[in-house]
Amino acid sequence: MKITEQEVRYVADLANLKLSDDEIHKMAHDLDEILTHVDKLKELDTTGVEPMAQVLYEAGETATLRADREHRPLTNNDAMANAPVTSGGYFKVPKVIER
Position 85 contacts other proteins (CB under 8 A): yes
Binder among 14, 62, 88, 89 for other proteins (CB under 8 A): 14
Q: Does 79 sit near other proteins (CB under 8 A)?
A: yes
Given 49, 62, 88, 99, the residue binding other proteins (CB under 8 A):
49
Rounded-to-integer distance, Cα 82 and Cα 5, Å: 36
First to last CA, the chain: 42
Q: How many helices (H) and strands (E) would you count in the chain?
A: 3, 2
Q: How many residues bind other proteins (CB under 8 A)?
A: 53
Q: Is 46 in the site for other proteins (CB under 8 A)?
A: yes
Find the shortest distance in angstroms from Cβ 91 to other proteins.
Answer: 5
For every residue of 11-47, DSSP letters joined together read HHHHTT----HHHHHHHHHHHHHHHHHHGGGGGS--T
User: Is position 64 an interface residue for other proteins (rule: CB under 8 A)?
Assistant: yes
